């Protein structure tokens, strides 16, 4: 999850235009995905990912990272945390609409590789509250996401709790 110096994951309107992505970031993401066989997303992040990654490898200007991540995305099991999404028939995809922490705990007890979560701050907050997340791989950015004080969106913390990362 990209986190600004002031603790935000997006600007007020949801923009993440301050995130600078390059080969080093792509290599780090590949390291994370190589250790996982399940991707956990909130609905918003899933919709963003699903609008790009299924066909990214087939674009004429696809980079090495586009090809690698698209291949991973198309093969990985996807878990979507959403109380509103009601789509049936998504290949290799499960929607969890209630008891999120219990369901994730069940997945963690199963066999397989790691579960990786990209973005999805609301889902992360929920799982942080229940102490379900084992490892945090936050990517800190030495930039402020706020246009002015107090205008960022989704600070990475929750109701007075602190987390060791």
Q: Across the strands, what pairs with 3?
A: 140
Residues of the chain with pLDDT under 50: 147-150, 158-165
Q: What is the per-residue pLDDT across 74-119, written as a single tens digit (0 to 9) for each?
A: 999 999 999 999 887 888 999 999 998 999 999 999 888 998 887 7
Architecture of domain 2-155: 3-Layer(aba) Sandwich (3.40)
Could you tell me the residue ranges of all domains in the chain?
2-155
Strand order in the sheet with 36-42: 93-96, 77-81, 36-42, 114-117
pTM for the full predicted model: 0.78
**Cα Rg of the chain, angstroms:** 16
Q: Is 121 helix (H, G, I), strand (E, B) or coil?
A: helix
């Amino acid at each position: 999850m990209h986190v600004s110096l002031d603790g935000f994951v997006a600007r007020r309107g949801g923009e993440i235009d301050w995130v600078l992505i390059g080969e080093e970031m792509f290599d780090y993401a590949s390291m994370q995905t190589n250790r996982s066989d399940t991707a956990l997303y909130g609905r918003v992040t899933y919709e963003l990912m699903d609008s790009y990654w299924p066909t990214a490898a087939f674009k004429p200007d696809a980079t090495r990272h586009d090809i690698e991540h698209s291949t991973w995305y198309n093969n990985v099991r996807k878990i979507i945390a959403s109380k509103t999404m009601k789509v049936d028939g998504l290949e290799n995809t499960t929607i969890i609409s209630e008891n999120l922490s219990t369901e994730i705990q069940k997945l963690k007890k199963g066999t397989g590789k790691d579960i990786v979560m990209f973005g999805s701050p609301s889902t992360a907050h929920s799982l942080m509250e229940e102490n379900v997340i084992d490892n945090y791989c936050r990517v800190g950015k030495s930039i402020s996401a706020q246009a002015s004080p107090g205008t960022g969106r989704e600070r990475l913390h929750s109701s007075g709790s602190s987390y060791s990362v």
